[in-house]
Structures are given as C-alpha cells and as structure tokens.
Amino acid sequence: MTPRIAIVGAGGGVGSSAAFNLLLRPEAYDIDLVDGRSGMASSHEMDLQQVVAAGASGSVAIVELGAIADADVVVVSAAAPLTVNRTRQVYLQDNAVILRGVVAALGDVGSWPGIVVLVTNPVDALATWLARRWPFAAGRLLGYSANDSLRLRTAVGAIRGVASGAVDAWVLGEHGDHCVPLLGRIRVDGAPVELTADERRAASEFVRSWYVRHVALDSGRSSTWTTGYGVARMIATLTGGAEPGPWPASVRLDGEYGLRDVALGVPAQLGPGGALEIEEWALEGDELTAMRAAAEVVRAAADAIDL
C-alpha cells in the first residue's frame, strides 16, 4: 500500500520542497497538501501535477486539515512568517498556536498510528511542549534537526579541502545557539580526523552563525532545499523505503544522556514505527555539559509557552 504523507504548511517553501523531493524518490507516495493560504498550496499542487505527468510514481492532492489523521506521516512545516532576527525563539508562541490546531486535527494521538515529523521552529522546545501536552506514542513525535550536522560537514569539507559528502560529522543538542557539534567524532571517507584547535573553532563558528547569516539576507525564505530533501529522505526511512539507520532527530528523552522530559537532537535509529532506539554515544566532557545546558534552555522555552 502506498504510504500517505500529509504536509501541513505545503504553501511554504519547506513544505513544497518536501513534496517535490518526495515525488522524486524511487518509491511512490500519495502526498496530501494542506495550507491556510489555499492559493499557494493550490499553485504548488497544479505545478507538481506535471511532475507526476513527467514520470513521478506518486500522487499529489489538496486536502483539508481534518484529513491529516488518515496519513501515515504528517509533516508539520506551518509557521509564522519569517523575519530578520537572531534566534528561532522569536517564533515560539505564534508557532505553538499553529501546532495546537494541527494536533487537534489528529484526534486521539495516543492511539493514532501515524508519525509526526515536526519541522516548525524552535523545533526542540515545540516538540518538548507537544510531548508534555499530548500523549503521543513513544517514538512517534520526531523533530527534524539534521541540517546542523550537514552544515558541520560543509564546514569540515571546506576547512580540510575535501568533498563535504565524504565527511561524517554530527551535531546534537538544541537546533539553535545551544547546538553541540561533536568535533571529536569526525570522519572523512570513514577514517577518523582530528581537527586542530583553530579548525574546531572555525567549524563550530560556521555552524553556530549559519542561521543569523542566512536570515540577515532578508530573503523571506528558510533552508527550503536542504530541509525538503532531508525530510523526504527521513520519510523514506520511516516508511520502509530506505534502510533503517541513525538520524540526528529531536526526540523526547527518558534517561538517555542523563536527561528526561526534554526533546533534543540525538542519534536516533529510525524505521517504520518512528524512533526505534536512541543511541547513547560516549561524549567528551564539555559536550555532555553542553547537552545539559541545551536541555535547560529548551525546558525553559517550553515552560514559557502560554497556551
């Protein structure tokens, strides 16, 4: 049976990019587009129909928000309009209001058999708040947070003069200022690489400053191509179209890394059913301290949501 994927926020750049990348996948998906700005979603749907006509194996259609409960995976990228700012936290309250309506459309989330992939920022605080308020089944509420790791790979590739696709590097913690680059766990073509102190500083600064540098362009768009491509790959893993494997995903922790009641980016084994297992990697002392600091920041943000 073809997996059904609902994208809430499909009128925006991230949602439409995710739909396009899903249609380019070798496995088929029935894609439902949902957006409050119906003209934008319909515009993308009209365009994507020709991608289907060109040979994509799936389908695409416009649906109402109430239909998302029938989906196998619900991608939530709906968000308040982008502004020039220095932190994703400015969207916290407005985006929580949006998410409350989305979750209401799912009905009883405790028995709902689907998976939510949350892209809306600040993703860790919102995932923490959602998990506290609604009884999602274990592993079925996931925050997309892979982009920081991709930015670290880009930085290491540039610093070392190698192809970024040959770099394996991970960023855990908060998707934001309190991210935790694992600078002692970098590999190039499978071989461990030891960065100098200056290289570590440069790689970390590239990752931490990326959001501010990008938003300062005032382009009115987020990382649409990266996120759309990454979300499509993540969905392939969640629906059996790709081999299960570890992903940097924001998952509510229950003792892992010594943390509870908070969602942070961690290496999670994903597969049909959601997050099947959280891998607990040995972290350097300062990395573990940074993870705990990130947890406190995320908890405080979730506590601040006034709904």
The larger pLDDT score, comparing residue 75 to residue 307, is at 75
Which tens digits make up the pLDDT trace of 185-221?
A: 999 999 999 999 999 999 999 999 999 999 999 998 9
Q: Output the domain CATH number for residue 93.
A: 3.40.50.720
> Is 231 part of a structural domain of the chain?
no
In a domain, 87, yes or no: yes
Neighbours of 287 (CB within 10 A): 20
The residue whose two tokens read 């925006």 is 12
Residues 179 and 268 in one domain: yes
CA angle 221, 95, 216 (to 5 degrees): 30
> How many structural domains compose the chain?
2
Is there a single domain that holds both residue 34 and residue 101?
A: yes
Is 119 in the same domain as 104? Answer: yes
Question: Predicted confidence band at 40 (pLDDT cuts at 50, 70, 90)?
Answer: very high
State whether 274 and 213 are in the same domain. Answer: yes
Q: Are strands 187-188 and 167-168 parallel, antiparallel or unpaired?
A: antiparallel
Structural domain ending residue among the three candidates 97, 123, 145: 145
What does the pLDDT look like over 237-253, one tens digit per residue? 999 999 888 999 999 99
pLDDT value of position 84: 83
Same domain, 196 and 133: no
Same domain (yes/no): 130, 10: yes
Residue 113 token pair: 């058999």
Query: Are residues 86 and 189 both part of a single domain?
Result: no
pLDDT above 80: residue 37: no
Query: Are both 71 and 86 inside the same structural domain?
Result: yes
Sheet holding 167-168, edge to edge: 167-168, 187-188, 191-192
Rounded distance, CA 225 to CA 14, Å?
Answer: 7
* Residue 235 is assigned to a structural domain of this protein: no
CATH of residue 192's domain is: 3.90.110.10
For 60, the 3-state DSSP assignment is strand
- Do the bridges between strand 59-62 and strand 115-118 make them parallel or antiparallel, or are there none, so unpaired? unpaired
- The amino acid that residue 50 corresponds to is Q
Please give the Cα distance from 45 to 39 (Å, whole number): 10
Last residue of a domain, one of 124, 145, 166: 145
Contacts of 38 by beta carbon, 8 Å cutoff, 6+ apart: 11, 62
Tens digit of pLDDT for each residue in 143-178?
999 999 999 999 999 999 999 999 999 999 999 999
For residue 136, give its domain range.
4-145
Q: Is residue 225 part of a domain?
A: no
Of 93, 111, 145, which residue is a domain's last?
A: 145
Three-class SS of residue 170? Answer: coil
Q: Is residue 96 assigned to a domain?
A: yes
Q: Could you tell me if residue 279 is inside a domain? A: yes
206 shares a domain with 123: no
Does 101 map to a domain? yes
Instruction: Answer yes or no: do 99 and 194 share one domain.
Output: no
Residue 228 lies in a domain: no
Alpha carbon 193 to chain centroid distance? 27
pLDDT digits (tens, 9 = 90+) for 96-125: 999 999 999 999 999 999 999 999 999 999
The CA distance from 224 to 56, in Å, is 21
**Pair (35, 171) in one structural domain:** no
Same domain for 151 and 137: no
